[in-house]
Amino acid sequence: MIGIAAVFGAISIFAADFWVKSQAKAQPEVKVVSVAAPQPKVEFKTIVVAQAPLRYGMELARPQLAEIPWPQDSLPQGAFPTIDKLLADGSRVVLSPIEVNEPVLLTKLSGPNGRATLSNLLSPGMRAVTIRTDEIAGVGGFVTPGDRVDVVLTRDAGDIQEVSKNAQGAAGSTVTSEIVVSDAKVLSVGQGADERKTEPQVANSVTIEVTNEGAQKVALARTVGTLSLSLRSAADASTSNGGLTTISSFGGSVAAKAQANAASLVSAVTTESDEPKFKTVIVTRGEKVEEYKVPSREPPQELQQ
């Protein structure tokens, strides 16, 4: 029985192996075919770029310009396809600096036969005002076109009730400072309007861009006090509203103590001066010497000084 079982077991194994191999051969062969993705067709057009650095006030000329291929789907707004079209209506003047290989855009140029005027740099509805500065008021000459600044007014405001009240604890000082215009854009420093200048430039005037109301505030502030600039961080977009700052805001308590001490000293001198002063008089009668205290009619030494 054991022998018969072994024979049938071997036959079953060979039969199963034959069936598996026959089924594997019956399956169709699968071939992996890689298909390349179709590449999008990019159409190019020409665009005018700067062939040399262009600065504020320069008149465009053909040697300064070049035409290069540019993808049609990514043409910047205001670009010119050819130099002939750029100069077709007349010569143009550069209003904003343009670097080499940078596209020449309409927003950075004047109109045909135009001039490099400051009004071309103003945003719609804005005004330009000029502030007299020096090395201190102009932040050491580090203010350049394109920066954002606050305009600070320093004046003697003794007629303001709030200032008069604070002055009682600040040794009578009524000097104040306040922000007249906040977050104003600098248009030009002196007579230059090149935004790419980064070296310090001490100038006697700075022109800023403000609203119509801001222009009126600056004009009025020039007549009542001294104006200075406060340079803002390039990442700061908040509006400054510091209010009115007086001497008592940072030193009023110290000044009040000094004033109280001075009053105490004057009171002590006055009290001491009210006391009568005496002099010593020596009287000799023969061999007898006597001393007498008599009131002095001379004013005290402190009052004489």
Name which residue leads in pLDDT, 281 or 114.
114
Per-residue pLDDT at 293: 72
Q: Give residue 186's identity as a one-letter amino acid code.
A: V
- The residue-averaged pLDDT of 131-143 equals 79
Domain 44-116 has CATH 3.90.1210.10: yes
Q: What pLDDT shows up at residue 188?
A: 82
Distance between CA atoms of 79 and 103, rounded to whole angstroms? 7
Task: Identify the residue whose tokens are 């000029």.
Answer: 130
User: What torsion do the CA atoms of 50, 56, 61, 67 make, to the nearest 10 degrees?
Assistant: 20
Residue 47 has pLDDT above 70, yes or no: yes
User: How confident is the model at residue 68, as a pLDDT?
Assistant: 92
CA distance 3 to 137: 116
| Residue among 246, 267, 55 at smallest CA distance from 158 | 246
Least confident range from 111-125, 189-203, 243-257, 258-272: namely 258-272
Q: What percent of the chain has pLDDT over 90?
A: 11
pLDDT at 221 over 50: yes
**pLDDT at position 262, please?**
55
Closest CA to 171 of 249, 244, 257: 257
Is residue 177 within 8 Å of residue 94, measured between CB atoms? no
Of 296 and 165, more confident: 296
Q: How confident is the model at residue 253 (pLDDT cuts 50, 70, 90)?
A: very low
Average pLDDT rounded to a whole number, residues 259-288: 59
What number is the average pLDDT over the span 5-25? 80
Q: Where in the chain are the domains?
A: 44-116, 123-247
